[in-house]
Structure 1
Amino acid sequence: MDESGSHGASPVFVVGGIIVHEEDAWHLQQRLDAFLLRKLSPLGHDHTMFELHATEIWRGGKRWGNVAESDRHRMLAGAYATLAGYAPVSPELPWRLIGAVMERDPHNQKLRAYELLTKKFDDFVNRMSRQGQQQRGLIVHDRSNVEGSLQNWTNQWRTASSSLGQLRNLADVPLFADSRATRALQAADLVAYALFRYYSKPGGRPDERYARRLWAHFDADRGRMHGLIHDSDYFGSCRCPACASRR
């Protein structure tokens, strides 16, 4: 998991994540790493020194400032295509995306977003178990000041209950790691950024250039997009795929 839009002036707060089986975690990271190698090596750069951090790629932050803007934007689009095109090692253990986009109640946005997303992940693991794939889930989050709060919240949701029900399928509380160390967390950053670009509506309308590659991969069941929650005051008129699937 990773978050986007946590700065005070942001119109939305987003938490995005990728659900991937432990067997696929390595293969997905290799795929993303190979993509960066192909794109950066011809430009004379050591790809291992570059993080797939969407905002830095878009704006030219940190090491990405040494790459031309046109190349950066092509690489960002290519990173989404690489992620969207990943095929799991076992079709019985699919990878899925999850996300929560919050536009209401700014004082409780983080609590509500993580409560929703953690429960959606727990539900996914439970659904896989009912289908014969007995699993436990583990959440890994990019380093963040939400670490202590999220671990405390999760402990409460496991022992008592959240407003959505009790968590029963997690192996432990969420763990936190530096996204520079793992392409899997960088994939979560791509998801959060794509959702932020779409729902924050830069220029007054949704920017779907990255999100459109990902819609089909959000967890869904019987035509309803359970894996993506859009919390807003205009559910009845919202045309986003998450809201539209629930009407």
Structure 2
Amino acid sequence: MHLLYLDDSGSAANRNEEYFVLAGVSVFEAQTSWFTQELDRLAQSIDAGNPGQIEFHASEIFSRKKSPWNSMSREDAQGVIKAVLQVLARSYDSARVFACAVHKDSFPDRDPVEMAFEDLCSRFNLYLSRLRALGDRQQGLLILDKSTYETPLQRLARDFQTLGTQWGVIRNLADTPFFVDSHASRLVQLADHVAYSIFRRYNARDTQYFDIFASKFDSADGVVHGLAHKQMVDQSCMCPACLSRRVSQAFRGMTGESVL
């Protein structure tokens, strides 16, 4: 089974933030132990006496307001974030990143959480459909951090599997999403770092974290399918999501084909 671990960054209600991001990483079920071991090893280097109490939560590490991050220099704390992301960067070739960044003011009448979740379900389903065409018949499962979004997202997932999304019915998910405590899951902590890095890239124009794992986004036929930038303010945006779609559409010409 392919497991997509997701977390969010940015607040849907905070008007001081331009973006809301939902993002994470897809790994095959047999690969989860490697990620856990690598992040446990990193935690051991931070607190050898009690590594299990180390939770990698990117915004807390970045702000350095809580222990043990408040005892670190800014450079050391940011180095921890980068070290977490390097685990993803050097991981299995099959590990894939999926993300949706929603520019909230571009869609004043839409819920950015629901918008991002529908988009990611569709992208993950597309990825699994491509694998199925190559002979991999494994289904997918979404795993998210426990949050106030739990009930509505479970309802949405059920609707996507029966009524469909705007891109079609979701057929490759084995069950409704599972919600877990992030402290107990290193993979959810990794998803947190991915979401935070993408939030920093769009909301603060800071690419130093994003660039570490940018090659891991799901891509096919020259399009970065794993990353969606939902916005109506910059039609010449040069981010990987927007640029790859413009280039692809230019090659497709007037065929009428669309790019998700």
Is this a same-fold pair by TM over 0.5? yes
Hey, what's the Cα distance between the residues in 1 that align with 2:192 and 2:146?
Answer: 12
Query: Deviations for 1:117-159, whole angstroms, at most 9, x for unmatched residues?
Result: 0111111112111111111111000011111111111111101
Name the TM-score, length of structure 2 as normaliser.
0.86
- Give identity over the alignment, percent: 33
Deviation at 1:171, TM superposition (A): 0.6
Deviation at 1:161, TM superposition (A): 1.1
1:71 match = 76
2:84 paired with 1:82? no
Amino acid at match of 1:95: A
Higher strand share: 2
Name the TM-score, length of structure 1 as normaliser.
0.90
1:198 match = 201
1:56 match = 60
| Contact persistence 2:35–2:87 (CA under 8 A) | no
Hey, what's the Cα distance between the residues in 1 that align with 2:14 and 2:151?
Answer: 20
Hey, what's the Cα distance between the residues in 2 that align with 1:87 and 1:26?
Answer: 12
| Contact persistence 2:47–2:54 (CA under 8 A) | no
2:50 paired with 1:46? yes
Amino acid at match of 2:96: R
1:178 match = 181
Deviation at 1:39, TM superposition (A): 4.0
SS at match of 2:140: coil
1:34 match = 41
Deviation at 1:236, TM superposition (A): 2.5
SS at match of 1:35: helix
2:152 match = 149
1:91 match = none
Which moves more between the two structures, 148-157 or 76-85? Answer: 76-85
Deviation at 1:62, TM superposition (A): 3.2
Which moves more between the two structures, 55-64 or 17-26? Answer: 55-64
Hey, what's the Cα distance between the residues in 2 that align with 1:148 and 1:172?
Answer: 14
Which moves more between the two structures, 226-235 or 162-171? Answer: 226-235
SS at match of 2:135: coil
2:24 paired with 1:17? yes
Hey, what's the Cα distance between the residues in 1 that align with 2:169 and 2:21?
Answer: 23
2:251 match = none
List aligned pairs for 1:128-147, cutoff 5 A: 128-147=131-150
Amino acid at match of 1:113: A
Q: Which runs of 5+ in 2 are unaligned?
A: 1-5, 247-260
| Contact persistence 1:229–1:242 (CA under 8 A) | yes
Amino acid at match of 1:3: D
2:218 paired with 1:219? yes
Deviation at 1:66, TM superposition (A): 4.6
List aligned pairs for 1:119-130, cutoff 5 A: 119-130=122-133
Hey, what's the Cα distance between the residues in 1 that align with 2:107 and 2:196?
Answer: 21
| Contact persistence 2:82–2:212 (CA under 8 A) | no
1:207 match = 206
1:95 match = 95
SS at match of 2:220: coil
| Contact persistence 1:235–1:243 (CA under 8 A) | no
